[in-house]
């Protein structure tokens, strides 16, 4: 069997502390890699003036190979281009993008550096799977170095319509470079449709069926592969975790109040400020609930060196203080706000304890917290998921209370509705969503992408059909 070589910026090298690197990518790829043999290559998490040869660790048939990056290049590639240009534009926030040629050059240089390091270890029949926006030009860099392997790309974050995408300076060298992959996968039909329109209107690609495209002498496919989770694994983790002293302490501290939870990286795309406004509107409009509910927002800091993140950090802290000052009482804090990272088991336990899960990003590729919230619930007495219609997960989780995260009144009434929902309705919504999570779990995600990459006859829209018809 061909080896699988996975490449992503972050690599979840096992450390045994139960904490995964931040974000859905590491969780998803980690689960997919555990099922297979191969190499997972990426950045070590360190910047060094003299990067040594990549360091390798082998655990359970997976070889984790990571490399340091030079501080200036890391800064240009990761902070400067990936997270100050690509991240905002791909999340529809053109207003926050800060382009500089130096950062663009640094991004290309790091992709070329990754291609050089990979060239030292690739074999001709390796199947290569590249992840996310940090590495969009990687197939082009590998092709230039003569690698003819099957190479797939999966975008974990959204892809906006061509009108927004073309505001990206040099977009043809970045987004257009995706055409050097053999398969390009997206989270939703919406993202794939936006890319399809970009291909035909901007790149001049030709297609007969909307899935197989031709540009010059290159043919490639696009497809939809919504990332899943391991629902039974999370359910088990959560039901064990509620018995732990960590979760019992939290439960005792609530003194019988209902808990509403949000768990997000502290990122402007997650809509935390809008959500807090929605909670404030709930407290305003539902005086009978004051003193009976606690909203716990867990928000580990992320990309703090980037000014837009530091600004948002300050704005959220200010708003939390304002609400607690306005509505709190000596024995009741309406909103508990923590910037720590917790173990996966602790998060699962907290999700299970919460009567409502608030997942209201302004834009999100998928949002695995939404799926984990559903999986973590007690099926006999489940909580209610309140989900942004702009999260990729909304295409699958029809049993959630869908909200427009910009509409504070809608968030407020969804919170009330969730807290007052009958058990019969909660169970029905939950079992519908759990069935979707089972049908499209993490194993299915990885298998369907890799089958599509390695068995070229496979139709590309089969997965979304399976999810819809369930």
- The footprint of ligand F6P (CB under 6 A) covers 9-10, 22-26, 132, 156-157, 302-303
Counting other chains too, the contacts that 460-464 makes at CB distance below 8 Å and 24 or more residues apart are 460/211, 460/221, 460/222, 460/223, 460/224, 461/211, 461/223, 461/224, 463/223, 463/224, 463/225, 463/226, 464/189, 464/224, 464/226
Per DSSP, what are the bridge partners of residue 221? 183, 212
- How far apart are the C-alpha atoms of 210 and 465, rounded to whole Å? 15
Residues with Cβ within 8 Å of 207's Cβ and at least 6 positions away in sequence, in order, are 196, 199, 200, 213, 214
- How far apart are the C-alpha atoms of 268 and 323, rounded to whole Å? 19
E-strand ranges in 132-234 read 150-154, 183-186, 206-207, 212-215, 218-224
- How far apart are the C-alpha atoms of 257 and 292, rounded to whole Å? 5
Q: Closer to ligand F6P by CB, 23 or 349: give it.
A: 23
Q: Closer to ligand F6P by CB, 70 or 156: give it.
A: 156
Calculate the CA dihedral of residues 387, 390, 396, 401 and round it to 10 degrees. 30
Q: Is 132 a catalytic residue?
A: no
- Residue 252 CB, shortest distance to ligand F6P, in Å, is 33
Q: Closer to ligand F6P by CB, 22 or 328: give it.
A: 22
Q: Closer to ligand F6P by CB, 382 or 392: give it.
A: 392
Catalytic residue among 91, 134, 156, 408: 156
Strand bridging mode 127-131 / 4-7: parallel
Q: Closer to ligand F6P by CB, 100 or 341: give it.
A: 341
Residues with Cβ within 8 Å of 393's Cβ and at least 6 positions away in sequence, in order, are 226, 359, 364, 366, 367, 368, 370, 371, 387, 400
- How far apart are the C-alpha atoms of 379 and 239, rounded to whole Å? 11
- Residue 365 CB, shortest distance to ligand F6P, in Å, is 7
Q: Is 156 a catalytic residue?
A: yes
Q: Which residues of 385-410 are buried (b: 16+ CB within 10 A; e: fewer)?
A: bbbbebbbbbbbbebbbbbebeebeb
Closest Cα to residue 135, out of 156, 150, 165?
A: 156
Q: Closer to ligand F6P by CB, 369 or 421: give it.
A: 369
Tokens representing residue 103 in the block: 């950062």
Catalytic residue among 364, 408, 430, 441: 364
- How far apart are the C-alpha atoms of 461 and 385, rounded to whole Å? 27
- How far apart are the C-alpha atoms of 226 and 15, rounded to whole Å? 28
Residues with Cβ within 8 Å of 282's Cβ and at least 6 positions away in sequence, in order, are 289, 411, 412, 413, 415, 416
The pair phi, psi for residue 332, each rounded to 5°, is -145, 125
User: Cα separations (Å) of 299 from 141, 340, 353?
Assistant: 36, 7, 18
Q: Closer to ligand F6P by CB, 64 or 282: give it.
A: 64
Q: Closer to ligand F6P by CB, 23 or 228: give it.
A: 23
DSSP string across 356-379: EEEE--SSBS--HHHHHHHHHS-T
- Residue 111 CB, shortest distance to ligand F6P, in Å, is 15
State whether residue 403 is helix, strand or coil.
Answer: strand
Q: Closer to ligand F6P by CB, 353 or 397: give it.
A: 397
Tokens representing residue 166 in the block: 């073309």
Q: Which residues are catalytically annotated?
A: 156, 364
């Amino acid at each position: 069997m061909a080896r699988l070589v996975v490449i992503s910026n972050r690599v979840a090298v096992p450390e045994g502390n139960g904490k995964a690197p931040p974000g859905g990518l590491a969780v998803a790829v980690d689960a997919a890699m555990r099922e297979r043999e191969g190499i997972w290559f990426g950045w070590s998490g360190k910047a060094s003036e003299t990067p040594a040869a990549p360091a390798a660790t082998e655990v359970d048939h997976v070889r984790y190979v990571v490399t340091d990056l030079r501080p200036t290049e890391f800064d240009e590639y990761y902070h400067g281009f990936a997270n100050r240009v690509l991240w905002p534009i791909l999340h529809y926030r053109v207003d926050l993008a800060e382009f500089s040629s130096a950062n663009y050059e640094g991004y290309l240089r790091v992709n070329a550096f990754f291609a050089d390091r990979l060239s030292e270890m690739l074999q001709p029949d390796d199947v290569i799977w590249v992840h996310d926006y940090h590495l969009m030009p990687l197939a082009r860099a590998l092709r230039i170095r003569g690698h003819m392997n099957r190479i797939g790309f999966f975008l974990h974050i959204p892809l906006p319509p061509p009108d927004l995408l073309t505001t990206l300076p040099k977009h043809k060298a970045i987004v257009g470079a995706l055409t050097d992959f053999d398969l390009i996968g997206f989270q939703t039909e919406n993202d794939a449709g936006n890319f399809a329109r970009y291909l035909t209107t901007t790149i001049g690609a030709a297609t007969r069926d909307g899935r197989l495209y031709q540009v010059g002498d290159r043919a490639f496919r696009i497809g939809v592969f919504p990332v899943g989770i391991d629902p039974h694994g999370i359910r088990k983790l959560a039901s064990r975790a509620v018995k732990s002293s960590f979760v019992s302490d939290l439960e005792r501290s609530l003194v019988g109040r209902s808990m509403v939870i949000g768990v997000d990286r502290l990122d402007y795309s997650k809509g935390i400020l809008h959500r807090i406004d929605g909670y404030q509107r709930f407290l305003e409009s539902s005086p009978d609930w004051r003193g009976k509910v606690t909203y716990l927002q867990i928000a580990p800091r992320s990309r703090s060196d980037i000014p837009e993140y530091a600004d948002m950090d300050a704005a959220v802290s200010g708003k939390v203080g304002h609400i607690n000052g306005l509505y709190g009482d000596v024995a009741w804090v309406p909103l508990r706000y923590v910037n720590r990272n917790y173990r996966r088991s602790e998060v699962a336990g907290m999700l299970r304890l919460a009567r409502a899960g608030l997942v209201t990003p302004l834009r999100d590729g998928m949002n695995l917290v939404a799926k984990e919230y559903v999986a973590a619930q007690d099926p006999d007495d489940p909580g209610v998921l309140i989900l942004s219609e702009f999260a990729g997960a909304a295409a699958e989780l029809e049993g959630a209370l869908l909200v427009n995260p910009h509409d504070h009144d809608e968030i407020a009434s969804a919170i009330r509705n969730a807290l007052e929902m009958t058990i019969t309705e909660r169970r029905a919504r939950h079992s519908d969503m759990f069935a979707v999570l089972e049908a499209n779990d993490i194993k299915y995600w990885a298998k369907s992408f890799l089958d599509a990459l390695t068995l070229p006859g496979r139709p590309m829209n089969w997965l979304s059909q399976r999810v819809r018809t369930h």
